[in-house]
Structure 1
Amino acid sequence: MFDALKSLIAELTGEAAQPRPFEAVDYQLAAAALLVHIASIDGDFDESERARIQQLVEARFGLAPDAARALIDDAFESEREAVDLYRFTSVLKRRLDEDGRKQVIGMLWDMAHADGSVHEFEENVVWRVAELLGVSTRERVELRREVRESLAQPLENPWYRPKE
């Protein structure tokens, strides 16, 4: 009860706890939150998409399955609380070099294809994230083509490579 009263007073005085801003080390969380966002944007978040997020996070960040699941759970929460994509892309733009930002776009395209078709909302999200990350239209389109081709040959899929 004391916590509820303290929270009410803080809210009334404008001192309510603000959401913690991302720090540079949170780029994995930011990337995972974008994957969650794109997987759920079409209103249908199925098991194939859930499995693909798990695979991408494990492989790209070199995480064990349990650590990847924990990161994905945190990403769901962060994505749910976010009001825009900038919260995630600003962290990625500061933390990653050009190649790293392109890899994020590749992961998003991979995620968009996870359920077998790319919805126009998913295309729009990839476009907006690419713009915010400074990935050119030409590179975004080329990454989409590369992902489509790699999905036809899953053993050669570059988006599953662990980060070096």
Structure 2
Amino acid sequence: MLDTLRRFLTDLAGSDEHDHFAVDDYRVAAAALLVNLAGVDGVVDPAEKSALHDVLKSHFDLDEAGTAELIGAAKRREADAVDLYAFTSVLKRSLDAEARAGVIEMMWEIVFADGSVHELEDNVVWRAAELLGVSTRERVELKRRIAARARSLGAEPA
């Protein structure tokens, strides 16, 4: 009977039974934040898609299937969210200060992936950093570090 109820609720929620990431998993929250950021300027180009995949795979030590599953879960979560707080509240509860700064670093990697910084992207990183308790000084330092890395790899940020 419980299995029937579980299947019913899963079907009702439109969730995949094979989804290994819980709704409140901090990895889903971080990935959803990155998905939101990648699309905030209205265009998700191939460089941003690739960066999203690579950043999540390396940061969370996932294989290809796990990375694809996380991105799928993140897209579903992002589609249901109304604001950044839906993601940052999970991250703030789950991660220490260093790990929250790591999320901001991942965000900058997505921003600089296409070689330009759109003002909406910069604003989303700023708001997320504020909600995560990452200081302005640390946010700016992370931006400088990732911008320098992007320049050294040949992607000249605008």
Q: Which category describes the TM-score, using the shorter chain as reference length?
A: 0.7 to 0.9
Contact 2:115 2:150 in 1 (8 A): no
* 1:3-152 superposed matches below 5 A: 22-23=23-24, 26-152=25-151
Q: Which runs of 4+ in 1 moved over 3 A?
A: none
- Specify every segment of 5 or more residues in structure 2 that has no aligned partner in the other structure, as ranges: 1-11, 14-21, 154-158
Percent sequence identity over matched residues? 51
- Specify every segment of 5 or more residues in structure 1 that has no aligned partner in the other structure, as ranges: 1-15, 155-164
Larger gyration radius, structure 1 or structure 2 = 1
> Is the partner of 2:114 in helix, strand or coil?
coil
> Is the partner of 2:134 in helix, strand or coil?
coil
2:17 is aligned to: none
Q: Tell me, in whole angstroms, the C-alpha distance in 1 between the residues paired with 2:93 and 2:109.
A: 23
Q: Tell me, in whole angstroms, the C-alpha distance in 1 between the residues paired with 2:124 and 2:151.
A: 23
Q: Residues 49-93 of structure 1: CA distance to partner in whole angstroms, max 9, x if unpaired?
A: 111100001000000011101100111111111001111000100
CA RMSD of aligned residues (A): 1.9
Q: Which has the higher contact order (CA 8 A, sep 6+)?
A: 1
Q: Residues 100-128 of structure 1: CA distance to partner in whole angstroms, max 9, x if unpaired?
A: 00000010011011111010000000000
